[in-house]
């Protein structure tokens, strides 16, 4: 599988032929979707069953959120697909719903090209490769660049 931009996942269209809204759409290899019109490449705004393209990963695999039933905290994003915290693994779906679990399904007109587990493993490997190295820095906040910290303190007194 080629390098896929973060947050995107390959999917296969399984609906009926449809026209797409204006926008940028990408093939599973990362190239922009094009079609030839009179020998000239133009954005391909049609989608036929079996077409493969990149979509937002949540649109392909769905996602799980955990809401605070009392509404005191922001919802917690648990991850792609069906995710359950270890301490809630033995609970029924009804009990989880009462705790605030909310499962959002992926788009029904698309199917994943690769299983979620494989997608997550590949994404994790890519993330490890791209991790930037930390560069130690020390910064003095609130002082002009040409004034030392001691001068700044004496002027404030």
Query: What is the model's pLDDT at position 87?
Result: 94
At residue 49, φ and ψ (nearest 5 deg) are -55, 135
Which residues have CB under 8 Å from 24's CB, separation 6+?
32, 43
**Tens digit of pLDDT for each residue in 31-68?**
888 766 666 666 777 888 998 999 999 999 999 999 99
Q: What is the pLDDT of residues 66-117, one digit of tens each?
A: 999 888 889 999 999 999 999 999 999 999 999 999 999 999 999 999 999 9
CB atoms within 10 A of CB 126: 12
Model confidence pLDDT, tens digit, residues 18-35: 887 777 788 888 788 876
Output the CA–CA distances (angstroms, integers) from residue 97 to 8, 86, 93, in the order listed. 28, 15, 6
- Could you give the CA distance from residue 153 to residue 70 in angstroms, rounded to a whole number? 48
């Amino acid at each position: 599988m080629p390098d896929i931009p973060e947050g995107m996942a390959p999917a296969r269209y399984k609906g009926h032929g449809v026209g797409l809204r204006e926008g940028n759409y990408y093939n599973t290899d990362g190239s922009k979707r094009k079609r030839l019109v009179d020998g000239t490449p133009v954005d391909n705004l049609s989608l036929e069953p079996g077409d493969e393209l990149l979509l937002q990963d949540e649109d392909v695999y769905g996602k799980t959120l955990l809401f605070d039933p009392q509404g005191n905290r922001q919802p917690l994003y648990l991850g792609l697909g069906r995710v359950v915290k270890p301490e809630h693994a033995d609970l029924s779906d009804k009990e989880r719903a009462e705790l605030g679990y909310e499962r959002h399904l992926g788009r029904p007109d698309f199917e994943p090209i690769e299983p979620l587990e494989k997608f997550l493993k590949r994404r994790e490997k890519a993330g490890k490769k791209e991790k930037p190295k930390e560069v130690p820095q020390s910064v003095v906040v609130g002082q002009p660049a040409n004034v030392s910290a001691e001068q700044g303190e004496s002027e404030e007194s």
